Amino acid sequence: MEESNRLDLPIRPRRNRKSAAIRELCRESRLSVGNLIYPLFVHDGDRDEAIDSMPGCVRWSLDGLVREVGEAHGLGVRAIVLFPAISAGLKSPDAAESGNDAGLVPRAVRVLKAAYPDLVVITDVALDPYNSDGHDGLVADDGRILNDETVAVLCEQALCHARAGADIVSPSDMMDGRVGEIRAALDAGGFEEVSILAYSAKYASAYYGPFRGALESAPKSGDKKTYQMDPGNSREALREAELDVAEGADMVMVKPAGPYLDIVRAVAEHVDVPVAAYQVSGEYLMIKSAAAAGWLDEKAVVMEALLGIRRAGASVILSYFAKDVARWLA
Ligand code: PBG
């Protein structure tokens, strides 16, 4: 690094920071509401329920969901992803409810698309909300997670969401080969316009704890380490992303986001489809709880955390703060 220029005068990088307008000119990465996906929880009740494990988040009734999405949409949020809290009576070892056309997710998709035709409605494809075992896949008698049998059920689930009008299906299960099979099933069903946002590098993370509380979907036995990725690995993330792109993923995701920014960067450099990153429930809760205690400035920290995710190379960010951010950016 040169310390002085040819005139032997000191180099002064601070000149590029001397006013708000100059800082704005020089800024490389920006956060905009158009980059955000708002994750929302929905349940089958008539009432909206506060979620104990995620203060500030709500399990919406269908009516509440339409109102909440309307507010977000009015602030410029144009994409949402749905997570269903399925009542215990509808959970089973074969997760049959996941493909029910009259089920909660298809009903939610229909009312949202009817109310806001330009809204991008994304659905989560995985069995954990429906599976009495709380795993993303089907569980064999000996406790193994069955890969190919699960993929067949995921294809039915994706088709069910496509029939309801989902714009994007988003497999979060981490089974091998599911993106290609889902792509083939969608195309065969006449849904070649439905996109796939693949959770490609999804780590076996303790940061998902509050989310599992929200859906009462924690695994009944074992953990998710035979399908979600080992937090020590980065090259494996490239392999997973590459496979998903080869199988037809339109976008790939890294999850969690904040503790895995190196992975966001590496994946963005490795594949040529848009990269999404998910600021997960634990990341949300750490900021929320510190702010509630008066220890952090919530708005400033959220904006910095999300800008960092953009700077790392993500075009798309999933965040429970999406509606707040839309308001702050307005
Ligand atoms: C499960 C799923 C999880 C999340 C999204 N989809 C939890 C898990 O894998 O156990 C976590 C999201 C969050 O923590 O905010 N298919």
Residue 135 pLDDT grade (very low, low, confident, very high; cuts 50, 70, 90):
very high
CATH class of 31-329: alpha beta
Would you say residue 216 has pLDDT above 90? Answer: no
Report how far residue 317's alpha carbon sits from residue 77's, in angstroms, rounded to the nearest whole number: 12
Mean pLDDT value across residues 202-213: 95
3-class DSSP string for the chain: CCCECCCCCECCHHHHHCCHHHHHHHCCCCCCHHHEEEEEEEECCCCCEECCCCCCCEEECHHHHHHHHHHHHHCCCCEEEEEEECCHHHCECCCHHHHCCCCHHHHHHHHHHHHCCCCEEEEEECCCCCECCCCCCEECCCCCEEHHHHHHHHHHHHHHHHHHCCCEEEECCCCCCHHHHHHHHHHHCCCCCCEEEEEEEEECCHHHHHHHHHHCCCCCCCCCCCCCECCCCCHHHHHHHHHHHHCCCCEEEEECCHHHHHHHHHHHHHCCCCEEEEECHHHHHHHHHHHHCCCCCHHHHHHHHHHHHHHHCCCEEEECCHHHHHHHHC
pLDDT for the residue numbered 3: 66
Q: Is 240 in the pocket of ligand 1 (CB under 6 A)?
A: no
Report how far residue 181's alpha carbon sits from residue 267's, in angstroms, rounded to the nearest whole number: 23
**Which ligand 1 atom sits nearest the alpha carbon of residue 211?**
14
Q: Would residue 91 show up in a list of annotated catalytic residues for this protein?
A: no
Q: Is 204 in the pocket of ligand 1 (CB under 6 A)?
A: no
Residue nearest to atom 2 of ligand 1 (CA): 172
Would you say residue 59 has pLDDT above 90? Answer: yes
Mean pLDDT value across residues 49-54: 95
Would you say residue 2 has pLDDT above 80? Answer: no
**Which ligand 1 atom sits nearest the alpha carbon of residue 219?**
10
Q: Is 212 in the pocket of ligand 1 (CB under 6 A)?
A: yes
Q: Which residues neighbour 138 within 8 Å (Cβ) at sequence distance 6 or greater? A: 93, 94, 95, 127, 131, 145, 146, 149, 150, 153
pLDDT for the residue numbered 103: 98
Instruction: Please give the model's pTM, rounded to 2 decimal places.
Output: 0.96
Q: Which residues neighbour 12 within 8 Å (Cβ) at sequence distance 6 or greater? A: none
- The catalytically annotated residue of 18, 224, 225, 255 is 255
Q: Is 124 in the pocket of ligand 1 (CB under 6 A)?
A: yes
